[in-house]
Amino acid sequence: MNSLAFLTLLGSLFSTTVAVVFDLSELEWNLVNQNGSISVPGAVPSQVHLDLLRAGVITEPLLGINDFTERWVFQDNWTYTADLTPLLTGGEIQSTDQLLLVFHGIDTVANITVANKPIAWVNNQFRQYVYDVSFLNAITSGNLTVALESAYYYGLNVSMRPDAETILGDTFEVPADRAYIRKIASDFGWDWGPGFVPSGIFRPAYLVSLSNSTTNATSSSPTNDTSQLVFVEETSVDIYKVGQNFSVPPNETADWVVNVTLALRTAGTFSSPSISVSVAELNITSPQFSLDELSATSDSDSPTWVTVLWQIPDSIPQRWYPHNLGTPKLYNLTIALNLTADSGSDVELTVRTGFRTIKLAQLPYSQEDIDARGITPGDQWHFEINGKAFYSLGTNIIPFDPFYARTTTDQVRWVLESAVSSGQNMLRIWGGGIYQPDSEETGGYDFYSLCDELGILAWSEFIFSDTLYPINDFFLESIEPEVRQNVRRVNRHPSNVQWAGGNEIEGIVTGVNTSMANGTIYLNEFVTLFQDFLHDIAVSETHSVPYTDCSTTKGVLSLDPYILRFNNGTRGNIYGNSERYNYDASQAFNYSTFPVSRFVNEFGFHSMPSFYSWEEVLTSPDDFSFNSTVVASRDHHPPAGSLAFPNPNAPQGQAQMTQGVELWLPTPSTSDSNQTFAQWCWSTQIFQSMTMMSQIAWYRRGAGQGENNLGALVWQLNDIWQGVSWSSIEYSGRWKVLQYGMTTTFSPLTIYPFWTPDNQTLEVLVTSDRWETVDGTAQLTWYDWNGNMLNTSTRDFAIPTLNNSLIFSASGLDSILPSGKKATDVWMLLNVTAQVDNKTVTNEQYFTPVSLADVTLVDPRIKVDATQDLIFTLSALGGVAPWTWIDHPAGTVGMFVDDTTGIPSNGFYLVPGIDRTLKFVLNEKLSTNASPDPADFVLRSLWNNTHTE
For the stretch 555-599, pLDDT in tens is 999 999 999 999 999 999 999 999 999 999 999 999 999 999 999
Long-range contacts of 895-904 (CB under 8 A, 24+ apart): 895/418, 895/421, 895/735, 895/920, 895/921, 896/740, 896/872, 896/920, 896/921, 897/921, 899/871, 901/842, 903/743, 904/421, 904/422, 904/735, 904/739, 904/740, 904/743
Q: What average pLDDT score do residues 627-646 get?
A: 96
Report the pLDDT averaged over residues 85-112.
88
With cut-offs at 50, 70 and 90, classify the pLDDT of residue 15.
very low
Residues taking part in catalysis: 504
pLDDT of residue 299: 67
Least confident of 238-242, 380-384, 399-403, 510-514: 510-514
Rounded to an integer, the average pLDDT of 526-549 is: 98
What pLDDT was estimated at residue 483?
98
**Could you tell me which residues come within 8 angstroms of residue 757 by beta carbon, excluding any fewer than 6 positions away?**
none
What average pLDDT does the structure give for the chain? 94
**pLDDT grade, residue 519 (50/70/90)?**
confident
Q: What integer pLDDT is reported at residue 10 of this predicted model?
A: 34
Model confidence at 514, in pLDDT bands (50, 70, 90)?
confident
pLDDT the model gives residue 221: 32
Q: Is the dihedral of CA 738, 184, 66, 82 positive or negative?
A: positive
Tens digits of residue pLDDT in 290-304: 999 988 887 667 899
Per-residue pLDDT band for 19 (boundaries 50, 70, 90) equals low
Query: What pLDDT is stored for residue 92 in this prediction?
Result: 65
pLDDT of residue 227: 43
Q: How far apart are CA 664 and CA 454, in angstroms?
A: 37
Q: What is the pLDDT of residues 214-253, one digit of tens each?
A: 443 333 333 333 346 889 999 999 999 999 999 999 999 9
pLDDT of residue 223: 31
The pLDDT of residue 229: 80
Which helix (H) or strand (E) segment is 453 a member of? Answer: helix 448-454
Alpha helices in 596-672 (DSSP H): 611-617, 629-633, 650-664
* Pairwise CA distance, residues 262 & 304, whole Å: 8
The 3-state DSSP class for residue 630 equals helix
Residue 178 phi, psi dihedral angles, 5° rounding: -60, -20
The length of the chain in residues reads 949
307 pLDDT more than 60: yes
Residue 219's pLDDT is 33
Compute the average pLDDT of residues 311-340: 96
Q: Are the CB atoms for 626 and 654 separated by under 8 Å?
A: yes
Query: How far is residue 931's CA from residue 910's CA, in Å, rounded to a whole number?
Result: 27
Q: Is 875 helix (H, G, I), strand (E, B) or coil?
A: strand
Dump pLDDT digits (tens) for 730-742: 999 999 999 999 9
Confidence grade of residue 342 (pLDDT, cut at 50, 70, 90): low
Q: What is the dihedral of CA 555, 583, 718, 480, to 10 degrees?
A: 40
* Strand order, beta sheet including 881-887: 908-910, 881-887, 938-940
Q: What is the mean pLDDT of residues 66-89?
A: 96
pLDDT 10s digits, 403-414? 999 999 999 999
pLDDT, tens only, 270-285 = 888 999 999 999 999 9
